[in-house]
Amino acid sequence: MTESKNYRSTQVFGDYLIMLIAPFALAFIYYGASAFYITAVSVATAVICDAAASAVLGKRFRLKNLDSIFTGAAIAMMMPAGIALYVPVIATAFAVLVAKAPFGGGINAPFVPAAAGFAFSCVCFREKIFDYSFVTDAKFLGSSSIASMLAKGNSVHLNSGNLIDILCGNSAGAMGTGCILIMLGCCAYLFVKRRKALLSTLGFVAVCAVFAFFFPRVNASGLTSVILELSSGSLMFAAVFFMTDQSTMPQSNLYGVLYGVIGGLICMLMRLSGAYEEPVCFAVLLANAFARLLEYIPKRKAAEPK
């Protein structure tokens, strides 16, 4: 049993790491060496904290589970390029030591550790996390992110030029989460490897799109609102990497979709009236809490006498 879990963990997080290569490459192209430093520091922190937690708990630390490496890399991708290095260090340490290790490791964690780490850093270092003033070259909208623009109710007229910028993630924001095209590529990879997991992504993105269409935050057409909402912040990144997490999503297909729908609804409601310009990690954590309930329903139904 333990053996098969290890291989499962290796494969799941190995796939995620392969998918993270593209966002990391784009972050390196846009932000240069700082993307590399932040990722390296974050991954190193995750590995050290995981090893330390294993030592304290008397467990064997298995690097090949890859969960700690994924946690560090995912948190780094959600950070702005100009962030002080201690912020990703603290976020990753929180993710590993508080959200992962006490529950028995990556595949057993009830909440996505990377989402927990990022949410923690949002609360503690709000000004730093949403400061996108570090710009190496000309960006669409300058140092103002699409998410902050939407939060202020400002719209932008979409044309073929700025649409490509938006879809390629060439706007101020987190290092590796802005490129919607790369996220679609990751979806394609996931479709080949674990298509069942994509159901929750589908539910999540569909609800966000429908919500954005009918309740636009900006004075623009429904379609413009959908494009801006989906390409802003880390929404697509969370939909692909966090909502498909093996350990937190319900195992049945129907409830997997429902889990995504709940996550998307919470995310859009928090975007509409929340305090943070990017609340997607809080939405993922709340959806994780609902996942336990959703898992319980089929068990309860199956246990009922026929």
| x/- map, 235-264, other proteins, by CB under 8 A | ----------------xxxxx---------
Site for other proteins in 59-78 (CB under 8 A): 59-64, 66
| x/- map, 87-126, other proteins, by CB under 8 A | ---x-------x---x-----------------x--xx--
Pull the structure tokens for residue 192. 């080949």
* Cβ nearer to other proteins, comparing 13 with 31: 13
What letters, b where the CB count within 10 A reaches 16 and e where it falls short, cover 263-296? bbbbbbebbeebebbbbbbbbbbbbbebbeebbe
Indicate whether 191 belongs to the interface with other proteins (CB under 8 A): no
Shortest Cβ distance from residue 273 to other proteins (Å)? 19
Indicate whether 7 belongs to the interface with other proteins (CB under 8 A): yes
Tally Cβ neighbours within 10 Å of residue 159.
8
* Cβ nearer to other proteins, comparing 12 with 236: 12
Name the DSSP letter for residue 17.
Answer: H
What letters, b where the CB count within 10 A reaches 16 and e where it falls short, cover 70-86? bbbbbbbbbbbbbbeee
For residue 278, what are the contacts with CB-CB under 8 A and spacing of at least 6?
A: 122, 130, 147, 174, 232, 233, 234
Q: Which residues bind other proteins (CB under 8 A)?
A: 2-4, 7-8, 10-12, 14, 51, 54-55, 58-64, 66, 86, 90, 98, 102, 120, 123-124, 194, 196, 251-255, 295, 298-299, 301-303
